[in-house]
Amino acid sequence: MVVRPTQEAVIREDIVALPGNVTYPIGFKAYGVHAGLRRKRLDMALLWSSRPATFSGMFTTNAAKAAPVRLTQQVAERGLSQALVVNSANANALTGKRGEENARDMQQMVARGLHVPPPFVAVASTGLIGVPLPMGSITRGVRDLIGLWSNLREETEADGVNASEAILTTDTMAKTGARLVRLSGGTVRIGMMVKGSGMVHPQMATILGFITTDAEIAKPVWDDMIRHAVDRTFHRISVDGDVSTNDMVLGWANGMSGVAVENDHDCKIFGSALTELMRQGARDIASDGEGATHLVTVVVTGAVTEADAAAKARAAVRSPLVKSAVYGRDPNWGRVVAAVGSAGVPFDPTRIDLSMNGMTLLQGGQPMAFNEERARAVMALPEVIFVVNLHAGASSAEAWGCDLTERYVAINAQYRRS
């Protein structure tokens, strides 16, 4: 069972949620092809901006960074990008000098085909670690992607959809979204495609995430916006507690709307839209965790600081005991409080409240009587929401995870043979 969180139709008057993808903003194209890296599914994608875009990125903190991560970090440092090439099924991680050369070959092949400088091309890979890239398949995939790009046919919605499907690994669904944002100077658009299902934990972006916008944004502002949004979304999800070698969140702002994000008012509105879009992506990833049957949301309120609230919420969603209890529909709520208490910042347990999907389980540190059958019925819902009030301050944060099932073990016990 895959949980698909409901997308809000309208967030606020000046931000509208839409079902688009990275091709929704003006000037962006995207394609997906089957290069032979996987048996049948699409496995390579190309993202293209009609003109060089202000480029920002956040990258895994894993010390064993994959070759494409290190290469794309260099692109982000320069601050301009016009294209991205992605392959699934192979991470090109821990592949030595050969892996570095293969990542750079991917960059150069795409640059030649698109007639842009190689430093304008970002590279991303996801999949099996420790196996060299099959460059014959990669070359074929780049050729086919460039062929689609160079074709003068009218673009279709299917192109962006195919790109979002080509980046998936054990995901069971593509994860995309869009926002229309009304600013003081006019309307801008934001698009997204992300992937993530396993090896997901908040020590950076925990995923592959690609964000496009036709707004004009200065590099320092764009960097801050991406960082702020990631901290409040992709940094707050956990499927299994493992941090990937290949994670990155990348953002392109090509300015083709002619509308600049400059004043404080516009920065606030645009930043809110960006964060809300990434929040949707984060929830989609958590709900599509490997083998998941439930989305688990933990909201911590009444904390002294937002950082403290976030740490406590993350501790609860990554707890194997909490995840197992949700899977078994066992209202063993003490596991949630124990996980919150393990986050490193103390609190007064005699003041804490805890509820589960509106059912009060703990109030003022005192256990409350509840109906076991009703609690189990509540835990059968697609999303199980725990709200913890510390009564210590005015800050809050939420985090997202999923339950832990036998299917997770089966998927990862046979990953190389999948």
Q: Which residues participate in catalysis according to the annotation? A: 206
Q: What DSSP assignment string belongs to 178-246?
A: EEEEEETTEEEEEEEEEE-SSS--SSS--SEEEEEE-SB--HHHHHHHHHHHHHTTGGGEESSS---SS
- Given a contact cutoff of 8 angstroms between Cβ atoms, the answer to whether 59 and 69 are in contact is yes
User: Which tokens sit at 216?
Assistant: 């004009």
User: Which tokens sit at 161?
Assistant: 């959809």
Torsions phi, psi of 20, nearest 5?
-85, -165
Q: Which long-range contacts (CB under 8 A, 24 or more apart) does 14-17 make?
A: 14/181, 14/182, 14/183, 14/269, 15/179, 15/180, 15/181, 15/182, 15/269, 15/272, 15/273, 15/276, 16/179, 16/180, 16/181, 17/177, 17/178, 17/179, 17/276, 17/277, 17/280
Query: What are the residues facing 44 on neighbouring strands?
Result: 33, 87
Would you say how long the chain is, in residues? Answer: 418
Neighbours of 335 (CB within 10 A): 20
- Given a contact cutoff of 8 angstroms between Cβ atoms, the answer to whether 96 and 126 are in contact is no
Residue (of 351, 298, 349) closest to 326 by Cα position: 298
Q: What is the dihedral of CA 119, 124, 129, 134, to 10 degrees?
A: -80
- Given a contact cutoff of 8 angstroms between Cβ atoms, the answer to whether 101 and 95 are in contact is no
Which residue do the tokens 């780049």 mark? 142
User: Which tokens sit at 322?
Assistant: 């909490």
